[in-house]
A and B are shown apart, each in its own frame.
Chain A
Amino acid sequence: MLQLDHLSKTYADGTRALSDINLTVRNGEIVALVGGSGCGKTTLLRLIAGLDQASIGAIRLDGEALSGPHPSVGIVFQEPRLLPWLSVADNIAFGLDHLNGAERKARVKHALEKIGLSEHAERWPRDLSGGQQQRVAIARAFVTNPKVLLLDEPFSALDAFTRASLHEHLLALWEETRPTVVLVTHDVQEAVTLADRAVVMQPKPGRIFDELPLTLSRPRDKTGLPFETSVRRVLTALDHSLNTPQQQPQRERDRQAAALWW
Chain B
Amino acid sequence: MSTIKLYPPKPEKVYFFGTCLVDLFYPDAGMAGIQLLEREGIEVIFPQDQTCCGQPAYTSGYHDQAREVAAAQLKLFPEDYLIVLPSGSCAGMMREHYPELFAGQPEEELAKNVASRVYELTEFLLHVCHIQLEDKGEPIKVAMHTSCSARREMGLGEVGPALLNKMANVELVEQARVKECCGFGGAFSVRHPEISEAMVTDKVEAIDATGADAMITSDCGCMMNITGAAEHMNKDFNGEHIASFLWRRCNES
Q: Do A and B come from one complex?
A: no
